[in-house]
Structure 1
Amino acid sequence: MENIQREDIHLVAKHSNLSANAIYAALRDQVYPKAHAWHDFLRLFLLIFGVGFSLLGIVFFFAYNWADLPKFTKLGLVEGLLILLTGAALYPRFSPQTRKIVLSGSALIVGLLFAVFGQIYQTGANAYDFFLAWTVFISIWVLIANFTPLWLFFLLLINSTLILYQQQVAADWSPVLFNMALALINAAALCIGIGLSKSKTPRRIPTYFSNILSLASVSFATLGIVIGIFDHDFTELAIAASFTALGYTFALRHAWKQGNGFYLAIVSFSLIIIASAILLDILEQLTSILLVSGFLIGSVTYVVHLLIHLQKTKTHGTPA
């Protein structure tokens, strides 16, 4: 039997006459991490924290000594560190995972370099220009490294660039359709990841990657619809609701088929928020507060019960 969980062993132990030693052996072989797993975890954990704290130390160094450093020193230190990290990422004796983490550190240094350059020469560029340049200049590294955390950071830069562009340049854009566009961008990245995991040559896509993208997509879609409800822009609201309904249908179908409670949870809570916004918009203030409070209590209770039922069905094969 593959993918044996702790709950499976506990269930078998409860309904059988297995000895304590046999149960412990099953937990040790199937659930508890092995020594090499702890070694790999600690190595990566310490490496990530080392790179992260080193970058923070550099930022604080510049912040504290900014007025006393000449321009050449400011740029030279950042560029030297960028070259050093990029060279370390190309060093063949490091493991592939280590090289990807170091290259991710280099991608962060690129942003620091642009920030230092902008502060020295007071370029006057908008914030979205900074994030756009950062996104463009690390694109090749993201493709080459193919490292999930770096992909997440890359998508974060894309979202930040678009949001800042809308706030600083395109303020006349419809907030409903803009949030829906952000939802579609994140949903497209999620679909690509799911497609790669089910292709002929499947690639392992970490669960946290799919969960973060799905949460971002649902959050933007929910925000767009809620804004449309309170602005009474029914044409744009209908467009956003149509795309959202289509996406939620596929998400719920996938969640129920795969037994994925996370997708079911975020879609359910999104629908609860949207329904609450509708009630607040159409009812009087005092009545709406009372009704929405009761609706929230009842709907959240039902969703939690449904998720517990789904989890028990997934874990034990039959609902409890």
Structure 2
Amino acid sequence: MNWTFEQRAQLFHLAEAGVLAQEQLERAGGHGALHPGPRDWRWMLDRLLAFGGALLLGAGVVFFFAYNWDALHRFAKFGLAAAALLGCGLAALWAPPRGVLFRAALFGACIATGALLALIGQSYQTGADVWELFAAWAALMLPFVLLSRSSANWALWLAVANMALLRALSQSALWWYFDALFHLYSLLLVAGLNLAVLLAFELLGRCLLCDARRWMARLAAIGVVVPLCVAAVAGWFEPGFRQGLTAFALAATAGGLVYGLWRRDVAMLALLSYAAIAVLTAGLARLLDAHDFLALNGLGLFVILASSAAGWWLTRLHRAGGGGSGS
């Protein structure tokens, strides 16, 4: 019998909480190794090297075009980019379905798709905005992502989709993606996109991913909490961002109920807790703005006490076995 990573973590959590005695833990170790063995290290290295190789090959294609841009004819460029995409597709067809090589090949196909689109945009100046390139990239790679059911492919898709939205919302070419951070509706739209992705992985995670790990749900949650936290912090100082405080309060309350009661997840609760501390610290700074001494010492004391209390509470949850399944 081989314990999975999640099962090993759960056994150690139970032992730390005193639920399992040392003899019981040793008995569990007799059924399967409790620490990673050579097979586990090979499993990790297979995935790391496969996806790392696909990423480096994709980057190599992009840099090859950049270095030889003037020396290559446009049809030679298209041929090389299409050959890279075709090669990744053939590798995926040849590899066993749902295997490491299959998912890594589709990851390479996602990168090659973006390179081909960028090549078309550079060769034929259509006047399209940059956000349209990212939106088309996200749309065209989505079938590969759905087919692979890989966290790496989904992470790439989520990053590209967010870049497309941020660039579409940006009003200034100077600030590029960061211009969207100065508008409340932009922050809410970014949070809404990531919230839709979060709900999809919470409800359909078994269909969208090969394993039960919660990395993508947590990554999407960061995309929800960070823009709402920025909006809430700005809401203490700018009248135009006041609604950001309400949106953050609603999201934090809903997230606390969901991940504290329905699906216990310490990582999600930690994200919400420290985001709330950041928002409350900004509010306290606004309140003590006219009192330099109190602001300097009071803010430091509040951050220390609030962070310590949150860390103590989260540690208790973690030791109680509430780290969340599929961590």
CA drift of 1:179 comes to 0.8
The match for 2:187 is: 179
Helix, strand or coil for the counterpart of 1:157? helix
Q: Distance in 1 between matches of 2:86 and 2:314?
A: 49
Contact 2:13 2:321 in 1 (8 A): no
Q: Distance in 1 between matches of 2:17 and 2:204?
A: 35
Helix, strand or coil for the counterpart of 2:96? coil
Return the letter of the residue paired with 1:180.
L
Q: Within the alignment, does 1:214 sit opposite 2:218 as a pair? A: no
Return the letter of the residue paired with 2:255.
A
Note the residue ranges of structure 1 that are not aligned, 5 or more in a row.
none
CA drift of 1:197 comes to 4.8
For residues 212-238 of structure 1, give each alpha carbon's deviation from its aligned partner in whole angstroms, at most 9, with x where no partner exists: 1112211111012222322122xx523
Pair 285,86 (structure 1): closer, same or farther in 2 beyond 3 Å:
farther
Pair 271,9 (structure 1): closer, same or farther in 2 beyond 3 Å:
closer
Worse overlay, 216-225 or 50-59: 50-59
Contact 1:71 1:120 in 2 (8 A): yes
Return the letter of the residue paired with 1:193.
F
The match for 1:194 is: 202
Return the letter of the residue paired with 2:111.
L
For residues 232-290 of structure 1, give each alpha carbon's deviation from its aligned partner in whole angstroms, at most 9, with x where no partner exists: 22xx523x333333322232123323442212211111111111222223322624333
Return the letter of the residue paired with 2:71.
D
Worse overlay, 134-143 or 269-278: 134-143
Relative contact order, CA 8 A, sep 6+: which one is greater? 2
Helix, strand or coil for the counterpart of 2:320? helix
Helix, strand or coil for the counterpart of 1:50? helix
Helix, strand or coil for the counterpart of 1:67? coil
Pair 156,285 (structure 1): closer, same or farther in 2 beyond 3 Å:
farther
Q: Distance in 2 between matches of 1:184 and 1:85?
A: 33
Pair 299,10 (structure 1): closer, same or farther in 2 beyond 3 Å:
closer
Q: Distance in 2 between matches of 1:36 and 1:270?
A: 39
The match for 2:252 is: 248
1:303-318 matched pairs, under 5 angstroms: 303-314=310-321
Contact 1:126 1:168 in 2 (8 A): no
TM-score by length of 1: 0.82
The match for 1:294 is: 301
Aligned length: 308
Match of 1:89 among 83, 88, 92: 92
Q: Distance in 1 between matches of 2:266 and 2:237?
A: 30
Contact 1:259 1:311 in 2 (8 A): no
Return the letter of the residue paired with 1:221.
L
The match for 1:138 is: 141
Q: Distance in 1 between matches of 2:104 and 2:310?
A: 39
Q: Distance in 2 between matches of 1:72 and 1:198?
A: 42
Percent sequence identity over aligned pairs: 23
For the aligned residues, what is the CA RMSD?
Answer: 3.4
Contact 2:233 2:279 in 1 (8 A): yes
Q: Distance in 2 between matches of 1:45 and 1:87?
A: 21
Q: Distance in 2 between matches of 1:198 and 1:100?
A: 16
Pair 198,89 (structure 1): closer, same or farther in 2 beyond 3 Å:
closer
CA drift of 1:196 comes to 2.4
CA drift of 1:77 comes to 0.7
Q: Distance in 1 between matches of 2:231 and 2:206?
A: 31
CA drift of 1:131 comes to 0.6
The match for 2:45 is: 42
The match for 2:154 is: 151
Worse overlay, 219-228 or 172-181: 172-181
Q: Within the alignment, does 1:102 sit opposite 2:67 as a pair? A: no
The match for 2:55 is: 52
Pair 95,246 (structure 1): closer, same or farther in 2 beyond 3 Å:
same
Q: Distance in 1 between matches of 2:306 and 2:59?
A: 44
TM-score by length of 2: 0.80
Note the residue ranges of structure 2 that are not aligned, 5 or more in a row.
174-178
Match of 1:273 among 275, 278, 281: 278
The match for 1:6 is: 12
For residues 139-163 of structure 1, give each alpha carbon's deviation from its aligned partner in whole angstroms, at most 9, with x where no partner exists: 3333333333222222222211111
For residues 72-99 of structure 1, give each alpha carbon's deviation from its aligned partner in whole angstroms, at most 9, with x where no partner exists: 22221111111121222223x5342222
CA drift of 1:204 comes to 4.6
Return the letter of the residue paired with 1:48.
F
Pair 114,14 (structure 1): closer, same or farther in 2 beyond 3 Å:
closer
Return the letter of the residue paired with 1:243.
A
CA drift of 1:192 comes to 2.1
